[in-house]
Structure 1
Amino acid sequence: MEIKNIDLHRPSLFEERLEQDSIRKKEDQFSSFLTNAIEKVNEQQIISDRYKELLTTGDVDNLHDVTIAQEKANISLQLTLSIRNKVVEAYREIMRMQI
């Protein structure tokens, strides 16, 4: 009769599922972070456009508010494009790596 050793280092099925759930949660957090960031940029663009409309109709007294809204929208869009370019560049670099 052969007696087998108990393997204590082998992760259980429960632990594997916990790890998979943890990875999924992190992916969801990252995707929701990106979605929220893009939505905020879009909101800045909408606010800027609304200020421009108000300026053309003469409903805005303070030109500084219009300029500030426009610059906020411009800066947030430029930052988003810069981040996108860096991500695309990193992806291309990874794809060029030889294994």
Structure 2
Amino acid sequence: MTFPIGGIPGISALAGMGGVAGIDTTAAVSQAGGANGDAFSSVLASSFDQLQATQVKADGLAAQAATGDLKDVHDYMIARSESSLAVEMVVGLKNKAVEAFNEIMRMPV
């Protein structure tokens, strides 16, 4: 003797899926994850570009300071501090990415 269990009314409307259509929603989420991965890589690439730009600016100001063309030493000190902080941030991101990769590799399959 079995009793049929009906669906809970209103749940499919809240979740935006009904029946087997939920599988299609899962595929859409994984495709969106790929788009977010592209967004992450573009943000990471722009961060490296900004790091390089701050280092070039600091190096240019250092050359001006060495030749005596720099009017305000504070500009060089600020640029060097920005460059140093940017390097620390990028190294921190790299360390966290390597740590995450190693953690994923330790997961049992």
**Unaligned runs of at least 5 residues, structure 1:** 1-7
The SS at the match of 1:54 is helix
Q: Distance in 2 between matches of 1:93 and 1:16?
A: 25
Match of 1:58 among 65, 68, 79: 68
Q: What residue is the counterpart of 1:4 in the other structure?
A: none
Which has the higher mean CA deviation after the structures are superposed, 24-33 or 44-53? 24-33
Q: Distance in 2 between matches of 1:87 and 1:17?
A: 26
TM-score, structure 2 as length reference: 0.71
Displacement of 1:86: 1.3
The SS at the match of 2:47 is helix
Displacement of 1:95: 0.5
Identical counterparts, % of pairs: 26
Counterpart of 2:34, as a letter, is: R
Match of 2:90 among 73, 80, 91: 80
Structure with greater contact order relative to length (CA < 8 Å, sep ≥ 6): 1
Q: Distance in 1 between matches of 2:107 and 2:28?
A: 31
Which has the higher mean CA deviation after the structures are superposed, 77-86 or 24-33? 24-33
**What's the Cα RMSD here?**
2.2
**Unaligned runs of at least 5 residues, structure 2:** 1-17
Displacement of 1:79: 1.1
Q: Deviations for 1:48-97, whole angstroms, at most 9, x for unmatched residues? A: 11101111121111111111111110111011101111110121122112
Q: What residue is the counterpart of 2:37 in the other structure?
A: 27
User: Is the counterpart of residue 43 in structure 1 residue 43 in structure 2?
Assistant: no
TM-score, structure 1 as length reference: 0.77
Counterpart of 1:52, as a letter, is: A
Q: Distance in 1 between matches of 2:85 and 2:104?
A: 29
